[in-house]
Amino acid sequence: MPVVVVANPKGGVGKSTMATNIAGYFAGKGHSVMLGDADRQQSSRLWLGLRPPAARPLSTWDLGQGNIAKPPKGTTHVVLDTPAGLHGKKFEEVMQLADKVVVPLQPSIFDIFATRAFLDELAEHRKASKMQVGIVGMRVDPRTIAADKLQEFVDSLGLPVLGYLRHTQNYIHLAARGLTVFDVAPGRVERDLAQWEGVCRWLDN
């Protein structure tokens, strides 16, 4: 049972967007998926409450009183959304469960510096050799200097860049309805699905 953790200590980088869409991708493949939310804001849990009955089912992973417990039997895939400032006991609990860690990263100098320290912490973790870490550029316009700086940074990491997701209202409109880019007709989100191809290959590997 793979456990995919979406994590970055910086707030507002797109963790919940990434977590919900990963869960939607797994569900679209016919897996029994649980989406957990370790963030006090509970954005992913709120999103699950908006999900229409006709959409592919996703279960809530009830973490209970802030403790991260193992998901129930019958679950084939788990996605965990994490809070900003993930550290200490909760960081340890999350990393003990993680098989894959997806790190969403925006092209801002503040996000880059905050993420550098987090990635160093991941690399030094005792479980580092047993989990895969991948970077996803979020809200990236490839024509900007910020995008160039982001590319310079990720080139220095020695970690795979799974893809770059554009800044689009599609994610906002779909999230408001409890949906993902994998829940609607492909023609409506063709550009976005193309950007997810590398992420999906990595998730399936």
Residue by residue, what is the 3-state secondary structure of the chain? CCEEEECCCCCCCCHHHHHHHHHHHHHHCCCCEEEEECCCCCHHHHHHHHCCCCCCCCEEECCCCCCCCCCCCCCCEEEEECCCCCCHHHHHHHHHHCCEEEEEECCCHHHHHHHHHHHHHHHHCCCHHHCEEEEEEECCCCCCHHHHHHHHHHHCCCCCEEEEECCCHHHHHHHCCCCCCCCCCHHHHHHHHHHHHHHHHHHHC
pLDDT tier, 65 (very low <50, low <70, confident <90, very high otherwise): low
pLDDT at 63: 60
Query: Helices 109-124 & 145-155, crossing angle to 10 degrees?
Result: 10
- Listed by start position, the domains of the chain span 3-204
pLDDT recorded at residue 62 = 63
Mean pLDDT, residues 196-202 taken together:
97
Q: Which pLDDT value is given to residue 70?
A: 65
Per the prediction, the chain carries an average pLDDT of 88
Confidence (pLDDT) at 64? 53
CB atoms within 10 A of CB 105: 28
pLDDT at 168 over 80: yes
Class of domain 3-204: alpha beta
79-103 pLDDT, tens digit per residue, is 999 888 777 777 888 888 889 999 9
pTM, entire model: 0.92
Backbone angles phi, psi at 94, to 5 degrees: -65, -45
Model confidence at 66: pLDDT above 60: no
Strand partners, 138: 165
Q: Alpha-carbon distance 87 to 8, whole Å?
A: 10
